[in-house]
């Protein structure tokens, strides 16, 4: 059974805005998929449905064998904990340390009485430090997150997403704010982690060349419609 199973997904934000129109998409375990499309084509909306952050107007969204679009409460939270999400703007808490940001990705981390003070079991701290080592930022653990470069902040966000041992990783334009060199680093890191951990990845991008060189499979969106679904191998820009 596919890890992601989307059928006939339509999302209307209003009478005039159909963000997704009858989208069908199945993704198998371990696949690395890029959603490719211009700004406004529906990439974020599709990713947010996979994570249960949006409710379909029509159609169904299944993730890890569960009907996301019909879950709520604890069941939805449980499913979301198996799906990591990284964002274009990283969404770190700038004044907190890098380590605290990573820890905030764990269910067991509790915000303490003073803002910014997290309490957590020692095992979680070891786990967070292990993830920081994986993303090459162990030496930055006690630095404020907002002192890091954009590429480093996105790597911290990846470490944070790993705290819940996700089976699926969703990334919404993860390198859109980064320079080319940091972009390559972050994309390579995502692939490496996905391969090691056996993650299924769906990542939105708008850069055609990067998408072709990075993905296993390219899914193209235009005005909310799925207009392309093909292996990345052998594609060239002219196609
Ligand atoms: P992309 O990620 O490809 O840039 P989006 O999924 O963000 O595309 O947007 C698809 C369309 O839906 C756009 O027309 C956008 O303006 C609209 N849209 C997205 N989110 C909302 C929202 N929360 N409310 C209303 N319209 C939205
Ligand atoms: P992206 O193109 O990366 O999806 P946007 O700038 O389109 O980013 O959207 C950023 C946020 O604003 C998203 O959460 C989206 O849901 C929301 N949004 C986008 N378009 C609209 C809209 N027309 N009305 C309300 N919210 C919107």
Give the number of other CB atoms < 10 A from CB of residue 84: 25
Neighbouring residues of 69: CB distance < 8 A, sequence distance ≥ 6: 49, 52, 55, 56, 59, 60, 61
Pocket of ligand 1 (CB under 6 A): 13, 17, 19, 37, 39-45
Task: Give residue 213's pLDDT.
Answer: 94
Q: Is the CB of 51 under 6 A from ligand 2?
A: no
Residue partners of 136: CB distance under 8 A and separation at least 6: 155, 189
ipTM reported for the complex, 2 dp: 0.75
Residue 138: CB atoms within 10 A of its CB come to 15
Our answer on whether the CB atom of 39 is closer than 6 Å to any ligand 2 atom is yes
Taking the C-alpha atoms of residue 64 and residue 86, their distance in angstroms, rounded to an integer, is: 19
> In whole angstroms, what is the distance from residue 158 CA to residue 131 CA?
9
Per-residue confidence (pLDDT) for residue 142, from 0 to 100: 97
Say what the pLDDT of residue 23 is: 98
Structure tokens at 113: 């009485």
Ligand 2 midpoint to CA 15 (Å): 17
Nearest C-alpha neighbor of 169 from the set 62, 51, 7: 51
Q: How far apart are CA 202 and CA 74, in angstroms?
A: 24
Consecutive sets of 10 residues in the chain, 239 residues long: mean pLDDT of each?
97 96 98 97 98 96 95 91 94 93 77 56 91 98 97 98 96 97 97 97 95 96 97 76
Q: Two tokens at 221?
A: 């969106």
pLDDT at 97: 94
Nearest CA to ligand 1 atom 11: 19
- 50 close to 170: Cβ distance less than 8 angstroms: yes
Our answer on whether the CB atom of 204 is closer than 6 Å to any ligand 2 atom is no
Verify whether ligand 2 is closer than 6 Å to residue 54 (CB atom): no
Are 168 and 85 in contact, with CB atoms under 8 Å apart?
no
Which residues lie across from 34 on neighbouring strands? 203, 218
Helix, strand, or coil (residue 78): helix
CA distances in angstroms from 167 to 4, 83, 100, 233, listed in the order given: 11, 6, 23, 24
Tell which residue, 99, 104, 166, has the closest CA to residue 133: 99
pLDDT at position 123 is 86
Q: Which residue, by CA, sits nearest to atom 18 of ligand 1?
A: 19
């Amino acid at each position: 059974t596919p890890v992601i199973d989307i059928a006939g997904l339509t999302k209307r934000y209003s009478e005039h805005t159909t963000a997704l129109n009858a989208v069908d998409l199945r993704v198998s375990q371990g696949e690395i998929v890029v959603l490719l499309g211009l700004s406004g084509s529906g990439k974020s909306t599709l990713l947010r449905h996979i994570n249960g952050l949006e409710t379909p107007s029509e159609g169904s969204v299944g993730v890890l064998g569960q009907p996301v679009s019909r879950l709520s409460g604890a069941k939805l939270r449980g499913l979301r904990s198996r799906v990591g999400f990284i964002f274009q703007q990283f969404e770190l808490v700038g004044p907190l340390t890098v380590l605290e940001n990573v820890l905030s990705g764990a269910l067991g981390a509790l915000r303490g009485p003073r803002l910014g003070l997290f309490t957590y079991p020692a095992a979680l701290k070891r786990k967070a430090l292990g993830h920081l080592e994986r993303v090459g930022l162990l030496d930055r653990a006690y630095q404020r997150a907002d002192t890091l470069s954009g590429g480093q902040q996105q790597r911290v966000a990846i470490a944070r997403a790993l705290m819940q041992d996700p089976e699926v990783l969703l990334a919404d334009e993860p390198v859109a704010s980064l320079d080319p060199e940091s972009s390559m680093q972050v994309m390579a890191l995502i692939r490496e982690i996905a391969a090691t951990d056996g993650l299924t990845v769906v990542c939105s991008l708008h850069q055609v060349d990067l998408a072709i060189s990075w993905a296993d499979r390219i899914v193209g969106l235009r005005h909310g419609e799925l207009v392309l679904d093909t292996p990345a191998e052998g594609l060239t820009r002219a196609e």
